[in-house]
Amino acid sequence: MGDDGIHDYLGAVKTGTTIMAAAYDGGVVMGADSRTSNGNFVANRVTDKITTLAENIYICRSGSAADTQALSSYITYFLHQHRIEYDGLPEVKTAAMLAKQMAYDNKNSLQAGLIVAGWDSRNGASVYAIPLGGTLIQVPFTVGGSGSAYVMGFCDKNWRSDFTREECEAFVRKTVSLAMTRDGSSGGMIRTLTINEDGAHRHLTRGHEVPVGWDEIQGTSIGEIKA
């Protein structure tokens, strides 16, 4: 509340999301919700938080939308120059290092939690987590954003190193849907992206198709809610 008794919406934290990536034998699956929040308001219900860096590399963005969009644009520009110079698709770790360096060098000015993932001919599928502050960690799976706190236990228990593509895609969709159930700043639709040697393949789970949590109200009107 402000001094005048009115809610101080301008002072609210302008973040909130759920992003994740998980590797399987032969590729990676990235996932994200589609809600962009501005404090207590939903600014965009259908945001695409999985951004293309190169044909074989993508980035999941959390934090300040403006900061992460600017970072993604810079990384895409530098990777394009890199591809011209070396005449080939860049490696995933090259993109991750670029993201890490920019996030770390500007850690006092930016609010950006990132996940870089993809597939390249030298290293295969790989996932890199870049949390706030610019640390770079290669991991088999990772979850970020405000919704991550609700689902880390689920991920630790259910992730397996021998996932098939279909199992990994189902795991990512389930994880994001559980985070959306508990986190008020995550919501909308579930976007997933599978990257492997054959390219990148997107899938969209629309709002009415997202699994409902066991304790969520499912009635369409007040009259349908039973005591």
**Residues annotated as catalytic (active site), given as ranges:** 17
- Residue 147 to residue 114: CA distance in whole angstroms: 14
Rounded Cα distance, 28 and 32, in Å: 14
CA angle (163 as vertex; 159, 166 as ends), nearest 5: 110
With beta carbons less than 8 A apart as the criterion, state whether 60 and 115 touch.
Answer: yes
| Residue 150, both tokens | 């609700």
What 3-state class would DSSP assign to 113? strand
Q: How many CB atoms lie within 10 A of CB 38?
A: 16
